[in-house]
């Protein structure tokens, strides 16, 4: 690893981050709006009120626009695993590829089969069959997220696999351990529920615009009631799953947890910094240490959040880098030595196999397996172990801004619901403007969640097993730079197109065709 092209690594990371962040501008609305539409159509079928059909078809149009453009970015994202991250794809393709294949075969098939009925089956199939199709599209959309997030969760807590030294690949040995990986399950539930919150805010914000323009009062108010109830319930679920995510992080990714909380020295009864402003400590630049200019703490809360015990010890960045024998924490230096042994043992095993020396191969394999848990650290043997510390300010601030926005979203749902039920929402223009301008905040919060999850685990592609410096393809960095700017232009164009098509459709509102179809 002496000849690492860090420019290639950085540009490959930047390109994947660009694609993923643009893709996530489309996905959460698809996840949440599909269920909101299904709820609205259920109300239509149950009540027979044609206004619910008209409302359903309007939101279905916006769903279709978003869905189509989201698919394009998702396809490019999956191709990048083979183009920019071929070493990673080879190393874990037998595991990582399985959830993605299932997503393509089952979930996407479910969506594509019934989405045609959902859009074009009005008055061609029975009400109940059309309703079932709408629900199956919603379920299929969310199943797509399940398998992708199973793959992502496995990267953050690799389990259910065994490394085959003959092929130098990780192979799945227990599908159920991969599927029910606690990190994967919690990540799936937290991610889709955040998408439901975003979609609820989108529906409320658009409805608020109609009320501000004194248009479509029935559509706006009915939509607000459905979206605010859905938003309130899913906000509570986001809090619950976020709490589970914090405990998983403390257990499986302690460095990410310490960086997110800017905890430099581990401690018992660790307080949670609810609000804080950081400043870099010039004396501890190697550790990327950040002091606080200002903070508001909640006593014992960090220990409780991490381990459900207010007296629990939470390791800090210094403990994880340099080790803490009292709490059985190995230093990065110790782990890099074990990783170096694993890498050397793998090489010895393969050489012994070629030479036909089975006894030496057996000893080398045993040595490799005993040290494999630290395999990735071997790539940092002889390097500055402080490179293994993620970007602290980015994860610290992203987490707190995201949480602060979540509190705002929950309060907004409650206020909107109460005012709408009391039929006072029309007169509260400040609340309506707040709802409208909360739409971009919801997208920012969604992106910040991924920044915490992905930047916080750097430099790992697979936690403790494979770092980014060993996962990239052998490409020229200039090639990646060119495609980065190509994708930037393409994705920006798609985003602008979506916004223009969406805003045009919203300004037009439910068309006369929609209104006429109610009579049929």
pLDDT band at residue 299 under the 50/70/90 scheme: very high
pLDDT (tens digit per residue) in 306-343: 999 999 999 999 999 999 999 999 999 999 999 999 99
Residue 513, pLDDT above cutoff 50: no
- What is the pLDDT at residue 210? 96
Residue 25, pLDDT above cutoff 60: yes
8 A C-beta contact, residue 100 and residue 154:
no
pTM of the complete model beyond 0.95? no
pLDDT (tens digit per residue) in 116-175: 889 888 988 999 999 999 999 999 888 888 888 998 899 999 999 999 988 888 889 998
* Residue 369 exposed, middle or buried by CB count within 10 Å (0-12, 13-18, 19+): middle
8 A C-beta contact, residue 412 and residue 204:
yes
- What is the pLDDT at residue 180? 92
pLDDT (tens digit per residue) in 171-193: 899 989 999 999 999 999 999 99
459: preceding bond cis by omega (within 30 degrees)? yes
8 A C-beta contact, residue 249 and residue 260:
yes
Average pLDDT, rounded, for the chain: 90
- What is the pLDDT at residue 455? 92
For range 75-96, the mean pLDDT: 83
What distance in Å separates the CA atoms of residue 141 and residue 297, rounded to the nearest whole number?
A: 40
CA dihedral 98, 103, 104, 108 (to 10 degrees): 170
């Amino acid at each position: 690893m002496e000849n690492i092209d860090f420019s290639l690594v950085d540009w490959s990371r930047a390109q994947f981050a660009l694609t993923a962040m643009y893709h996530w501008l489309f996905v959460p609305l698809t996840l949440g709006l599909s269920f909101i539409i299904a709820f609205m159509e259920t109300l239509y079928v149950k009540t027979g009120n044609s206004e619910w059909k008209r409302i359903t078809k309007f939101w279905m149009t916006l769903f279709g626009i978003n869905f189509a453009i989201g698919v394009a970015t998702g396809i490019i994202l999956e191709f990048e695993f083979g183009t920019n991250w071929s070493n990673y794809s080879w190393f874990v393709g037998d595991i990582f590829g399985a959830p993605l294949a299932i997503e393509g075969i089952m979930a996407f098939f479910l969506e594509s089969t019934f989405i045609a009925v959902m859009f074009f089956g009005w008055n061609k199939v029975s009400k109940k069959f059309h309703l079932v199709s709408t629900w199956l599209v919603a379920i299929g959309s969310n199943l797509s997220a399940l398998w992708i997030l199973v793959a992502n969760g496995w990267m953050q807590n690799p389990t259910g696999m065994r490394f085959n030294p003959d092929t130098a690949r990780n192979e799945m040995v227990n599908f159920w351990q991969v599927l029910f990986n606690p990190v994967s399950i919690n990540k799936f539930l937290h991610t889709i529920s955040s998408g439901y919150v975003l979609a609820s805010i989108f529906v409320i914000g658009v409805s608020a615009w109609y009320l501000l323009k004194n248009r479509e009062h029935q559509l706006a108010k009915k939509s607000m009631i459905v979206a605010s109830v859905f938003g309130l319930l899913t906000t509570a679920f986001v809090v619950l799953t976020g709490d589970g995510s914090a405990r998983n992080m403390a257990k499986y990714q302690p460095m990410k947890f310490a960086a997110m909380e800017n905890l430099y020295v581990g401690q018992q009864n660790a307080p949670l910094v609810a609000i804080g402003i950081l400043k870099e400590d010039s004396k501890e630049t190697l550790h990327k240490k950040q002091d606080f200019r200002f903070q508001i703490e909640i006593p014992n809360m960090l220990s409780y959040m991490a381990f459900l015990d207010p007296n629990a010890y939470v390791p800090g960045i210094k403990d994880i880098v340099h080790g803490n024998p009292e709490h059985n924490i190995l230093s990065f230096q110790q782990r890099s030595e074990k990783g170096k042994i694993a890498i050397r043992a793998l090489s010895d095993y393969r050489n012994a196999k070629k030479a036909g020396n089975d006894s030496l191969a057996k000893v080398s394999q045993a040595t490799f397996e005993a040290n494999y848990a630290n395999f990735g650290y071997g790539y940092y043997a002889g390097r500055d172990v402080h490179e293994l510390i993620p970007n602290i300010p980015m994860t610290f601030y992203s987490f707190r801004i995201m949480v602060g926005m979540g509190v705002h979203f929950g309060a907004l749902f409650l206020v909107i619901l109460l005012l709408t039920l009391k039929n006072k929402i029309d007169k509260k223009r400040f609340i309506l403007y707040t709802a409208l301008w909360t739409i971009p905040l919801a997208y920012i919060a969604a992106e910040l969640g991924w920044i915490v999850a992905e930047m916080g685990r750097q430099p790992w592609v697979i936690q403790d097993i494979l770092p980014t410096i060993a996962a990239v393809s052998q490409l020229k960095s200039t090639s990646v730079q060119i495609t980065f700017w190509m994708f930037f232009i393409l994705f920006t164009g798609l985003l602008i197109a979506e916004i223009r098509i969406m805003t045009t459709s919203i300004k037009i509102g439910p068309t006369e065709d929609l209104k006429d179809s109610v009579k049929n």
